[in-house]
Chains A and B, each alone.
Chain A
Amino acid sequence: MNIRFSFSQKILATASAAAVAGMLTLPVLAATPAETVKLRQETMKQLGGHMKAIKGFAMEGQGSAEDVAVRAGEINKIAAKIPTLLPEGTGMDEVKDPKNGAKPEIWLDWEKFLKAANSLEAESKTLAAVAGGGDKAAIAAAFQSVGKNGCGSCHKPFRIKLEK
C-alpha cells in the first residue's frame, strides 16, 4: 500500500526543507506547473555544471580545491530546495514536456524522495569538508559518493532520462 501525503502535509515538508536552506517557497508554488518544470530543469543543469567542474579537479587536476569546496556548498544549498521544485501535478504524466522525466513514483513515495534529497545534502556537505582538507584522493572519493549516493540514488527510482 502506498501512503499518499496530503498536499498541505507536503507543503509543510517542503517548507521545512526550504527553511533549512533559508529559502522562501512562495515563488515556486506560485509558478504554473510548466514553469516549475522549466525551473527545476535549469536547477538540475546547474547541479550538472557543478559536478562536471568538480570532476575536472578530482579526476583531471583542473581548477582548485577551494573551487570544489565552493561548488559543493552550492550543491548543498540546491539539494535543500529540490523538493520545492517537484510539487504534485508536475510529473511527466501531468506536464507533457517532451523532456519531463519526473516519474509518478515521486509522489507515491514522497518520504523516500525526501530521503534522496537529504542524502544529496549530506553527501555534498561531506565533499565541502573534504575539499577544505585539500587531499585529492579523498576529494575524488567524496565526489564519486556524491554522484552515486546523492544524484544517482534519486535518479535511479525517480527519474527517466529522455531526449536531449
Chain B
Amino acid sequence: MLRRGLLLAALLAPLAAATAQEAGQAAADEAASRRGEYVFHAAGCYGCHTDVKGKGAPLAGGRRLKTPFGDFLGPNITPDPDHGIGSWTLADFTRALREGVSPAGDPYYPAFPYTSFSRMAEEDIADLWAYLQTVEPADTENGAHELDFPFGWRWLTSIWRTLYFAPGEFEAGDPLAAVAKEDRDKWNRGAYLVRVLGHCGECHTPRGGLGAMDEGLFLAGSKQGAEGAPVPNVTPDPATGIGDWSLADIEGYLKFGMDPDGDFAGGAMAEVINHTTGKLTPEDRRAIAVFLKSLPAMERKITRPSG
C-alpha cells in the first residue's frame, strides 16, 4: 500500500513540476499578450482587418479599402488554421510585417502598411503575435482584391518594392534643438509611434504616381489620402498646418477628437482616434505631440479634390 503511494508520488512529482512550469509559462504568455494588445491598438490593426459595416467578426477580414489602384479587402488574420493565420509561425509573422512577404514568398501589396511596420521592434512583434493567438478564430473566407488593370498582377509589386521599399531597423534619432529638454526622452518614443506603429504618414504624407510616400513632404498633407479624401497637413506650419496648436491641443485631439476651435474629427481620423490614439496612455499621446511639434514646418495648403 505504502509502496504504491510512493510510486504514485514519484510518478506525480515531475508532473507537478511540469504544471508549475506551465503555470509560469502561462503567466508569461498572458503578460506578453497584454502588452501585445497595446501594440495592436497603437498600430491600428483592427480597422483594416475588420468589416465593421458588414458586422463581421473582429479581424476576420472583409473590410474594403478604397485606393487609386482599386479596392483591397483586408484579409482574415484570426488564428483560424484554414482561413486565417493559424498555421503561421512567429517567423512567418515577423517576415510579413518586416519584409512584406507571405509565408509562400509572395510580396504583399503596400496597402498593407509594412512600409511603416518594417521598423517595428522585435519584442513588439512577438507580443503582438501572442495577442493575436488569443483572438477568436473565424472561418471567414478571404475575398479577392478588386484592382484596376494592371495592378491585379501581384508580381508588379516586386518592381514597386525594388524602387520604393527599404526595410530596416528603427533608429532612435537626435531630438532636434527645438524640443524642450524635459521632452527629449519622449521624442524618440513619439517618432516610433508616429512613423512605425501609428503609420500616420500612410494617410498624411502625399504619394507619387505609383503610390510611394514622398518623404520630403512627411506629414505635410495629402490631397487624395484616405479613401480618396483630402488629409490635412499636420506639420507645425501656423497657416496651413497645426503650428497654432499647443501640445495639450494635440493630446486632446488624439484622445477624444476635439480641435482647438471646438470642431470634432471626422472621416478616417475619427476611426484612428476611436481605435488607436484614444486608447494610448497619456504619456504616449504626449510623445506623439512632442514629435509632431518638432517636425519641420511645411507650408502646404490642402485643397478639395475637385479644385
Contacts and interface: CB of A to CB of B under 8 A. Distances in A.
A155 B267 CA distance: 7
A76 B264 CA distance: 16
Contact of A159 (B240, B252, B267, B302): B267
A163 B302 contact: yes
B154 interface: no
A162 B230 contact: yes
Interface string B227-268: 001101000000010000000000010001110111111110
The main secondary structure of chain B at its interface with chain A is loop
Contacts of B252: 55, 59
Interface stretch (A22-30, A61-69, A130-138, A145-153): A145-153
Interface string A73-114: 000000000000000000011001010110000000000000
A51 B258 CA distance: 9
A144 B256 CA distance: 7
Contacts of A50: 262
B303 interface: yes
Given A55-B252, A92-B304, A98-B304, A160 B266 contact: yes
Interface in B268-307: 270-271, 274, 301-304, 306
Nearest to B271: A156
Interface residues of B, number: 24
A133 to B, nearest CB: 21
B47 to A, nearest CB: 12
Given A52-B261, A147-B256, A160-B229, A152 B304 contact: no
The main secondary structure of chain A at its interface with chain B is helix
Size range of the chain A interface in the assembly = 20 to 34
A146 to B, nearest CB: 9
A101 B265 CA distance: 13
B267 A147 contact: no
Contacts of A52: 258, 260-262
A4 interface: no
B189 to A, nearest CB: 24
Contacts of B232: 161
A47 interface: yes
A160 B261 contact: no
Interface string B199-219: 000000000000000000000
Interface of A: 44-45, 47-53, 55, 59, 92-93, 96, 98, 100-101, 144, 147-148, 151-152, 154-163
10 contacts: A51-B262, A52-B262, A53-B262, A55-B262, A98-B304, A100-B304, A147-B258, A148-B256, A156-B266, A156-B271
Q: Which 8 A-B pairs have the closest CB atoms?
A: A155-B266, A48-B262, A52-B262, A151-B264, A156-B270, A51-B262, A159-B266, A144-B256
Interface of B: 229-230, 232, 240, 252, 256-258, 260-267, 270-271, 274, 301-304, 306
